Structures are given as C-alpha cells and as structure tokens.
Amino acid sequence: MSNSRVAFSPLHGAPSGEPETSASMRPWRRARAVESARRLQLLSWFAPLGLLLGWEALARLELIPSLVLPAPSSVIATARVLLASGELQTHLAASLRRAALGFSVGSGLGLGLGLLVGLFPLAHALLDRSLQVLRAVPFLAILPLVIVWFGVGESGKVFLIALGSLLSTYLPDFGKAMIEVVRGKYGRELIPLVREATRVRSVSRSA
C-alpha cells in the first residue's frame, strides 16, 4: 500500500486536494470577530457599572460599614454639598497646584538626568546605580523620613510627587537616542533605542 502525500499550496495554506473554502469562510470569521469585540467592549463598560451597583447594594444592606466604605450615593451627595459651598473647588485647586509643581520639577530632573546619564559614561557610572536602587525602594519606607525632613506641610507632599515623577521619567537610554537623532541616524538604527527606552519606562511604572 503506497503512502500518498497531500501537497500543500504555499499561497493558500490549504491542501491542494481539498476544496478551497477559506475564501468563503473569511467573511463569516471576520463578522464573528467583530461581534466578539463588540461584546467584550460592552462588557468592559458594564463591569464597572455592576461593581458600583453591588457596592451600593452592600452598603445599603449595611454589610459594609459606612465609615470604612460609604455608598456611592452618599459620596455623590457629599460632593454636591461641598461643590455648592465652594470647599471642593478650593481643595481641588490646591491639589492640582501641588501635583503640577511636583510633576514639573520631578519630570524635568528625570529627563535631564536620563539625558546626562545616556550621553556621558562617567555620569552613568556615578548616578545610574544609585537611581536604580532608589527606584526599588517603596514610598511607604520613605514616608517617615519625609515627615521628619519636611513635616506634614506642602513641601513634603510636593517632594513625594517630584520623586515619583523623577523615577518614572528617568530614561538613561534617552540620551543615546538623542545622539542618534543628532547624527541623523533615523530609521532602523534608532528604532531599537526607542524600544529599549519604552521598555525601561514600562518596567519603572510596574515597579
């Protein structure tokens, strides 16, 4: 009994001896994929809504203490009262000023240090390892020192925001990418450096 081999077509990816049904199946698969994507998108909207409804129900049944986790309806009612009195706008403006100041200082230092470390090997040897160690330290461990140094005022809050922004925007490969841009090496030689910088930033955010 001879072993018969079925030849595969390199263009269509299906055996040459079988009927070509892939072309007729493509519209059905595409429609099915679109319908599945729509369902998942609707689910992504309904999931937070269901979480809020469950939270509200548990709070109204007093299964969750209101002091620990108040109901969303009570939060909205309190927000309306604070908005009518003008107190919410005052505190929101103070928080926005604090965040803007800390982010501007921290991101500027982070990008500057990243450029310096990427451009100069001596700066990389002096600064990079210390900054990487500081990035691994949790903020809760630094918080007691910040309270001792700055107290509980605005300066300590701005310092924490600036420190988090610095560690998030510190990109040592940014300087290498800038070198390639200055030299005019666009295209394939710049793409690996940009990918590496993106990877470093994603790792810093997850840490």
User: Per-residue pLDDT for 103 more than 90?
Assistant: yes
Q: Is the residue at 88 inside a domain?
A: no
User: Per-residue pLDDT for 164 more than 60?
Assistant: yes
Q: Smallest Cα–Cα separation from 171: which of 189, 195, 139?
A: 195
Q: Are residues 69 and 102 in the same domain?
A: no
Q: What is the dihedral of CA 194, 128, 116, 180, to 10 degrees?
A: -30
Q: Are residues 99 and 77 in the same domain?
A: no
pLDDT, tens digit, 9 for 90 and up, residues 77-100: 999 999 999 898 999 999 999 999
Check if the beta carbon of residue 162 is closer than 8 Å to that of residue 102. yes
Distance of CA 38 to the CA centre of its chain: 24
Q: Is the residue at 15 inside a domain?
A: no
Q: Is the residue at 10 inside a domain?
A: no
